[in-house]
Chain A
């Protein structure tokens, strides 16, 4: 029983970086901007977060540094694609490749460094519950923040006027422009928010999850987060589901190996990807649902007054 609780706890922890990055990317995609630079932003933020934690010893400074670097990288991307109307795909890929190389370059002196003693977190009282305490209430605060964020985001997108404006810009920037909304500035804000969340996700990986810095350490999680937003049809709750599913199957396959289950481990390594895609494809199999949810102007440049 305790083993199962520990497995659930590990699943939550493994899904959290994907959830945070996925939620961030969802916001800029809802505004009509596709940022393929997620992996690069996460890597640059991971090294920034690690450096910040290394010098200050605080996770929160690390998250702030990660968010700042992610937002700054996203702002550069946003300026290129929103004002200069460069191709979003090419620019995003460029950001991804640049981020990978640049983070390796600036991070050289942090490879193999050790962070100060990590603090343990747990929720008082609730942590003493049998099973539930171990499974859910001995997590890093960022795990709960991610869940709260998903709720807040669903509320913002579907229950507030600002959320409606954001979505309308993703659907039809021309109409929003005609109504007098500053399309470009709102898109930039959305892109920077997405970058900041990718940054927090990167910093979480390098300072809480691993915790160490080596180049390329995000190991494709940025791409997985990007794919998650699509398969989740741009709905926050489904992004969370996909993220935990991916984290869960990742941990489960390692767990099964430890139990001596006799399945080829190469097959097991593939499972998280397959399971996540299958489940999300099944729940979003209705084509009407996809058309209703996909931001109509996603990936398209906007020319005001054109």
Chain B
């Protein structure tokens, strides 16, 4: 064997491993209901497509809690199935198609990257209802829903701005899409609302779920002086890295207080259940119509929970006031005057951002360091 063929074999091995390691699991469907009285209708079958493993304690875990809320609410009137660890790409379409052909009448796809796949499959199955989280493409049987995560990020910023000693905050980010950029900006704006000296450093890991890399990113931010971290990756790695280094961080997607008792300041938790229950009620009552749902703290879709006991009382009070302000609308996260970090005016004094504005966030606000990475 010569060296070239050895390399070829290794490369081939890596390729095979890369493409086949993604296994899919689905919960074994409960035994079919015994043939009961004919009056009893068959359960409504609902399928979920998850991007991570349900045990991630983050994004997918939060969606799975929503699925469980659905089962708790409707009992045997619904039957749910999920497929976890579905890559955002051609595989997604196959999985969604599969779920539809298994008889699921409602499909929830829970990651941004499933948009194209959902639109394609929705076209082929007009009698199935498609629900896409954090998406923007709609069709007669495809609608989108989203939480106002930036409200949580803003509250985290308020807390971070009060707790930071170095006045440097860190953000471990995934992909430069509006959803993520909104969170980075809201985090920074929240911190600036109580501490104008704050700066935010951002590191992109190009993955929703890669704990060793998230750890490395968190470590490099802390090495550069950041002492309060927020992330929108889906694992507890950033929080645990902060714990190890004696710094602060937040839980994201779900209550992560148990993972880092000393580092955990609070958690930005998602409660998808409220929307899932509403969506299924729409289907059952035949009131389903195309919508672009954006719910926040007010509707219970997301919440800022478990503020740590060691946070000083006045800071806790400030966070509670801000939260109340967001709920009653007196505090707007994105409002003028707002500048980006090159000095360009984004919103003039008195202007308040609307949904269209928020869906096109592709910049860093003043106080965030660096430049938004682009595909160019």
What residues of chain A have their CB less than 8 Å away from a CB belonging to chain B?
3, 6-7, 10, 14, 34, 36, 39, 89, 92-93, 96-97, 100-101, 104, 108, 111-112, 114, 118, 205, 209-212, 214-217, 219-220, 223, 226-227, 230, 250-251, 254-255, 257-262, 264-266, 269, 290, 294, 298-300
Contacts and interface: CB of A to CB of B under 8 A. Distances in A.
B13 A92 contact: yes
Given A10-B216, A255-B220, A97 B55 contact: no
Contacts of B235: 212, 214
B10 A226 contact: yes
Interface string B259-282: 100000000000000000000000
Contacts of B201: 258-260
Interface string B289-321: 000000000000000000000000000000000
What 9 A-B pairs are tightest by C-beta distance, nearest first?
A260-B370, A111-B55, A6-B223, A254-B220, A265-B204, A260-B369, A112-B57, A223-B14, A112-B55
Given A114-B258, A217-B211, A223 B220 contact: no
A298 B1 contact: yes
Interface of B: 1, 3, 6-7, 9-10, 13-14, 16-18, 20-21, 23, 53, 55-57, 61, 170, 201-206, 209-213, 215-217, 219-221, 223-226, 235-237, 240, 244, 258-259, 369-371, 373-376
Contact of A258 (B13, B209, B215, B220): B220
Nearest to A114: B259
Given A89-B13, A93-B16, A226-B10, 9 more contacts: A3-B223, A10-B219, A205-B212, A214-B56, A215-B53, A223-B14, A258-B203, A264-B374, A298-B6
Nearest to A299: B1
B211 A39 contact: no
A211 B241 CA distance: 9
Contacts of A255: 220, 223-224
A39 B18 CA distance: 11
Contacts of B220: 7, 10, 251, 254-255, 257-258
Contact of A3 (B3, B53, B224): B224
Nearest to A5: B223
B23 A104 contact: yes
Contacts of A269: 206
B10 A14 contact: no
B60 to A, nearest CB: 11
B236 A264 contact: no
A167 B216 CA distance: 37
Contacts of A260: 201, 369-371
A101 B23 contact: yes
B20 A97 contact: yes
Contacts of A298: 1, 6
B13 A257 contact: no
13 contacts: A34-B9, A96-B13, A97-B17, A108-B55, A112-B61, A214-B211, A220-B14, A226-B13, A230-B6, A230-B10, A254-B203, A257-B203, A265-B206
B223 A219 contact: no
B17 A223 contact: yes
B373 A265 contact: yes
Given A10-B216, A290-B3, A262 B370 contact: yes
A267 to B, nearest CB: 9
Contacts of B206: 265-266, 269
Contact of B213 (A39, A211, A219, A299): A219
B67 to A, nearest CB: 17
Contacts of B221: 258
Contacts of A118: 244
A201 B157 CA distance: 38
Contact of A211 (B17, B209, B240): B240
Contacts of B1: 298-300
Contacts of B376: 264
Contacts of B9: 34, 36, 89, 299
B240 A257 contact: no
Contacts of A34: 6, 9
A264 B369 CA distance: 15
B140 to A, nearest CB: 36
B23 A93 contact: no
A219 B224 contact: no
Question: Which of A101, A118, A258, A294 lies at the interface centre, i.e. has the most chain B CB atoms within 10 A of its CB?
Answer: A258
B165 to A, nearest CB: 15
A260 B206 CA distance: 16
B53 A214 contact: yes
Contacts of A214: 53, 55-56, 209, 211, 235
A101 B20 CA distance: 10
Contacts of A215: 53
Q: B14, B202, B213: which has the most chain A beta carbons within 10 Å?
A: B14
Nearest to A267: B373
B216 A257 contact: no
